[in-house]
Structure 1
Amino acid sequence: MTDRYPVLEGAEPFYFEGNNVGILVSHGFTGSTQSMRPLGEAYAVAGYTVCGPRLKGHGTHYEDMEQTSYHDWIASVEEGFQWLKERCDTIFVTGLSMGGTLTLYMAEKYPEVRGIVTINAAIDIPAMEPVRQLEGTRFLDAIGSDIKKAGVTELAYEKTPVQSVKEILTFMKEVKEDLPKISCPALIFVSDEDHVVPTDNSQAIYEQISSESKEILALKDSYHVATLDHDQQIIIEKTLQFIKGIL
């Protein structure tokens, strides 16, 4: 399935060629690469090779998203991973929200992932569960742009496809079950206040992964889309420190 709608301005995938250390950067559910671009650009300035794929069905129109499955979203990230593997010896993965879920998935499936950084990653959203039973409703209200900082908007869909919610519920369950497979170093960011993903998700990730080197860091001044919020610089600086500490 190809997207039927054109890619929105600002939602394009991004690629920056740098040194032989790659960083795969994944945006979240119903969102776009716009939420991760400032991070990607900062990592490129630091010298790294960066890939920010656009997840299938995202950054165009919610009707495109409705036609995709979580396997499509995985494939989008794996494609970016392959692009980096052709250019880099070492690869780190980072992601926001469902991008964090995809980050966990990559660490579960690819032991060569050198380290992961999750930002308000989702593995269990009880408020979404009733959607499994929904019949006859195609779209729900938007969930994007949960940002504390005034005047900042996430480029995200104005509606959420019911079918897509069912897909992410299945995906989160799979990733959650396999968390003990993760053994690479992990840096886990969690906003103190998040209106999309319950904050206990990050604590559960921290407790269930097998990594010897793992840290959980609270973001005091951001909501869910912390990458566009007040704590953006903290995320960038701590991530670069994390990578440098491993290399």
Structure 2
Amino acid sequence: MTAAKVISGAEHFFLPGNSIGILICHGFNGTPQSVRYLGENFAARGFTVFAPRLAGHGTDENEMETSHYRDWIQDVEAAYAELKKTCTNVFAIGQSMGGALVLDLATKVACDGILTINAALKVPEYEKYRNQSVPRFIPEGKPDIKAENVIEIAYDRVPTKAVNQLLDIMQHTGTRLQRITCPLMLFHSPDDHVVPDRCSHQIYETVMSDDKEMISLDNSYHVASLDHDKDYIIEQTHRFIQKHTKQANSAPLTSLII
């Protein structure tokens, strides 16, 4: 079976830079386009940036229907491994479902830091489709973005099977939060119409990280990487990376957790 064609603008991107790598993971029904502004600005500051395109995203709904959450986990792990080939330090950023995926990553590898943007552990609107197969597709509304005239590449409808994979990865990650010990920065929008703000608070309260921060995005909705606070996210992320790169470089290097 021939793979579906990637939508123009939805491709993964790799921006080479220095020995500090940043993995950026988009969310459910999103694509790397939704985090490209962040990635290009990090690259302009000298960092090496990789934003993978998750399986079934940025092509068509039929391909998404065949994707499993383990595919998405593997995509993120492969991106981390690719960055580790050339980078001494690697930080992972995830938006929405991407936040759940990078949190899962942190339970397996020695990340220098994890940053999440409205990380998803619950999506109330989707709960009624749990363990359901009909309807086959669910209509999607406009992206939850406060800023006007912003375009996000996304499907107009998503497969119910894929929604169940999203529900599964959120549940999977929620049970593993106590395994996380690396530095953590949680960006959260109090006015988020997709993922309850309490998800970020749950993560903050459950992880075992000694170094953790909550950053409120008061002028953005759910897709904050394309919203009014996107430059604020960049500045705070840069501060976080500078802080923890200095700490990492003053201590013995850690290896992958098997």
> For 1:36 and 1:17, how far apart are their aligned partners in 2?
16
Matched length: 245
DSSP 3-state at the match of 2:24: strand
Indicate how the Cα distance of structure 1 residues 87 and 124 shifts in structure 2: closer, same or farther if over 3 A, else same. Answer: same
Report if aligned partners of 2:131, 2:164 keep a CA contact under 8 Å in 1: no
CA–CA distance in 1 between the matches of 2:170 and 2:155? 20
RMSD: 1.2
AA of the residue aligned to 1:18:
G
- State the TM-score, normalizing by the size of structure 2: 0.92
* Residue of structure 1 in register with 2:137 after alignment: 139
Aligned ranges 1:106-145 → 2 under 5 Å: 106-110=105-109, 112-142=110-140, 145=143
Give the counterpart letter for 1:40 in structure 2.
G
- For the 8 Å contact 2:125–2:194, the answer to whether it is kept is no
In structure 1, C-alpha distance between the alignment counterparts of 2:132 and 2:82, rounded to whole Å: 38
1:145 alignment partner, SS class:
coil
Q: After superposition, where does 1:77-88 map in structure 2 within 5 Å?
A: 77-88=76-87
Gaps spanning 5+ residues in structure 1: where? none
Change (3 A) 1:70 1:120: same
Contact 1:70 1:167 in 2 (8 A): yes
Cα deviations across residues 66-85 of structure 1 (Å, max 9, x unaligned)? 11000111111111111101
Aligned counterpart, 1:12 = 11
User: Is the Cα contact below 8 Å between 1:144 and 1:157 reproduced in 2?
Assistant: no
Contact in 1 for aligned 2:39/2:51 (Cα 8 Å): yes
The two structures have a TM-score, normalised by structure 1, of 0.96
Alignment match, 2:215: 217
> What is the percent sequence identity of the aligned residues?
44
Letter in 2 for 1:244: Q
Q: What does 1:56-95 correspond to in 2, within 5 Å?
A: 56-95=55-94
Out of 172, 175, 178, the residue aligned to residue 174 of structure 1 is 172
Instruction: For residue 5 of structure 1, report the CA deviation from its aligned partner.
Output: 1.9
Shift of 1:126: 3.3
Q: Which whole-Å CA distance do the structure 1 matches of 2:131 and 2:43 have between them? A: 44
